Amino acid sequence: MYCYGAGLYEDLVVPVTNFHNEDHGLMVLAGDVFDVPIRKDIIHRVVLWQLAKRQQGTHSTKTISEVSGTGRKPWQQKGLGRARHGSLRGPQFRGGATMHGPKPRSHAFKLNKKVRRLGLKIALSARAAEGKYYLTEQLLVFEDLEVPTHKTKNIVNYVNQMENTKKLLLVDGGPINEKLKLAIQNLHYVNVLPSIGLNVYSILQHDTLVMSRDAVNRIVERMHTPINR
């Protein structure tokens, strides 16, 4: 059990296996990374931050100086009883400019590094808790993500054996194995990331998370590294 007052968390002990369901012993998951209290507000802030960074911000409308058309005054100022106008490119005319419309910009905003790190811990803890309390395999640890061949059917057969798994995220410590890339490239429900690219949004998009032993060690090391200000 974790103790909120003292800041102590319970380390988790999980079995280690592989794609062949072979036993590779046990691994201890650091409690301060995989067993922190769940806070939906932090998850919400981190996801908004990620999605804002993804926005291209290329939407654009034309101002009066950018619209194609004549710059001549359409009619004389006085004497006709008509409203006075200086250009047919104004927003009140069809085909004219758009006033105060969107222009290319960045939608990104700053988010404290502590909040971003806490969001990743919470997402990992949520997956671990689902497997612990609901007895479903939401977080699995593999010895490695080595596959014997690049054939897609091997991954398909493995996923079919897993219960309650609709989308699977594989996380390896270093560069992704080329055979594994080829094996999953035609599967829309299986994705793979290096540990450095693991993020909150990707974890939430997949109901099952599979991490190699190396990936777990690297992520724990990253979470324990002091934040540079």
- Per-position DSSP letters for 36-61, written without gaps between them: PPP-HHHHHHHHHHHHHHH-------
Q: Is the pLDDT higher at 229 or at 60?
A: 60
- Tens digits of residue pLDDT in 13-71: 999 998 888 899 999 999 999 999 999 999 999 999 999 999 999 999 999 999 999 98
Amino acid occupying residue 106: S
Strands 26-29 and 12-17 come out as: antiparallel
Query: Measuring CA to CA, which residue among 133, 119, 131, 135 is closest to residue 210?
Result: 131
Q: What ranges do the domains of the chain cover?
A: 12-56+108-224, 61-101
- Tens digits of residue pLDDT in 103-152: 999 999 999 999 999 999 999 999 998 765 544 558 999 999 988 889 99
**Residue 219 half-sphere exposure toward CB, CA atoms < 13 A:** 31
Query: Measuring CA to CA, which residue among 3, 29, 7 is closest to residue 16?
Result: 29
Residue 165's pLDDT is 83
Residue 137's pLDDT is 59
Residue 132's pLDDT is 57
| DSSP-derived secondary structure letter, 196 | G
Q: Does the pLDDT value for residue 76 go beyond 90?
A: yes
Cα–Cα distance for residue pair 11/23, rounded to 1 Å:
21
Share of the chain above pLDDT 90, in %: 76
> pLDDT averaged over the chain?
90
Q: What is the mean pLDDT of residues 217-221?
A: 95
Q: Is the dihedral of CA 202, 204, 206, 211 positive or negative?
A: positive
- The CATH number for 12-56+108-224, chosen from 3.20.20.30, 3.40.50.920, 3.90.180.10, 3.40.1370.10, is 3.40.1370.10
Poorest-pLDDT segment among 74-83, 136-145, 151-160, 173-182 = 136-145
Cα–Cα distance for residue pair 43/201, rounded to 1 Å:
9
Residue 169's pLDDT is 95
Say what the pTM is: 0.84
124, 90 contact by CB (below 8 A): no
Residue 136's pLDDT is 53
What is the Cα Rg of the chain in Å?
Answer: 27
Share of the chain above pLDDT 70, in %: 93
Residue 6's pLDDT is 40
